Structure 1
Amino acid sequence: MISRLLTAIALAILLTLTILPAATWAVASGLGVDNGHLSSCPASNNCVVSQNADPKHAIDPIAYHVDRNAARETLLKVLGVVPRTEVIEQTDNYIHATSKSRIFKFVDDVEFYFPPNESVIHLRSASRIGESDLGVNRRRVEQIRLALRDLNI
């Protein structure tokens, strides 16, 4: 009886330590779309965003010329082949993926927003930690843009 109770407590602690911090971090980080906008970037040099950005963090949205659902599905296919990238959440107008660095496994959050009545994909890519990413987030998003252009979206 005591061993079952200890096992249950240990399992509860393990789940709390592994699942809840990630969920709490995501909520506290301001991910997602709020009033039609992705979050702005912090002052650090490890983020780019296509909405309401200062010159240091600004990047153009990705324009598309096909049906919105086709653009979204094509983007999901592209994300499926980006190394060390996993789609975490998707809705009809939003995609959140994480991308891990090869050696140190640093996590970046990559977000895409499909606003209604616009043929653009707004985006945000940001490192969770650190001051600089040596341009990795900007390069990743530009590679995704090129892949989508090659696929004629």
Structure 2
Amino acid sequence: MVLVAVVAVAATTVASWRRPQLGAVEGRLRPCPDSPNCVSSFEDRPSHRTEPFEVHGDPKTAVSRLVRQIDAMPGTNVVEVTDDYAHIEFVTPVLRYVDDVELLHDGASEQIHVRSASRVGRSDLGANRRRVEIIRSQWKESLEAAAVD
């Protein structure tokens, strides 16, 4: 029984290492699946909806500033950064599952959209939503600190 559980966890972990198809499509991040392990600022469904990040200051450097902040968090791996898009992986400490966080700067609205999703499984017990809210809180603090300077 223990061996079956170990094999199942190992298989799930290995499956989470495969990168899903990500990126912007027609100016939007991809929709969340029906499973409750994803949040996105492009979603209308309340169970998957989160707010985008507000941009203050130089919009051309907003994504890179936010990525630097996120990169200081434990378990991160910055995969891709452009002027308006970023993909960051988060690896859980024990089971080594991988979650993907994407950022997309919307120059028209001066917002950075966000999507955070687990690669495997159905439920993440709210981990992606909590992660986005931690990032949001740190982002607001950094904006407030910059405004004081």
Q: Same fold (TM over 0.5)?
A: yes
The CA deviation at 1:69 is 2.6
Q: What is the number of residues matched between the two proteins?
A: 128
Take 2:89 and 2:44, find their aligned partners in 1: how far apart are those partners? Answer: 21
Answer yes or no: is 1:33 the counterpart of 2:29: no
Contact 1:48 1:59 in 2 (8 A): yes
- Give distance in 1, aligned partners of 2:21 and 2:37: 16
> For residue 140 of structure 1, what is the amino acid of its counterpart?
R
User: In structure 2, what is the Cα distance between the partners aligned to 1:111 and 1:136?
Assistant: 15
TM-score, with structure 2 as normaliser:
0.81
Pair 1:96 & 2:96 matched: no
Aligned to 1:144: 135
Corresponding position: 1:74 with 2:68:
no
Q: CA RMSD in A?
A: 1.4
| Unpaired segments ≥5 residues, structure 1 | 1-21
Letter in 1 for 2:129: R
The corresponding residue for 2:35 is: 44
* Structure 2 Cα separation of the partners of residues 74 and 115 of structure 1: 15
Residue aligning to 2:110: 119
Tell whether 2:103 aligns with 1:129: no
Report if the CA contact (8 A) 1:74-1:148 is conserved. no
Structure 2 runs not aligned, ≥5 long: 1-16, 145-149
State the Cα distance separating 1:88 from its structure 2 match. 0.1
Q: 1:116 to 1:64 in 2, by over 3 A?
A: closer
Larger radius of gyration: 1
User: Match of 1:107, as an amino acid?
Assistant: V
1:137, distance to aligned residue in structure 2 (A) = 0.4
- Deviation, 1:56, is 0.9
- Mapped to 2, the partners of 1:53 and 1:101 lie a distance apart of 28
TM-score normalised by length of structure 1: 0.79
Give a deviation string over 1:61-95, Cα, whole Å, max 9, x none. Answer: 01122111332232122112111011101111100
The C-alpha deviation readout for 1:16-46, integer Å capped at 9, x for no partner, is xxxxxx7xx54xx331000010011101110
When structure 1 is superposed on structure 2, of 87-96 and 111-120 the one drifting more is 111-120
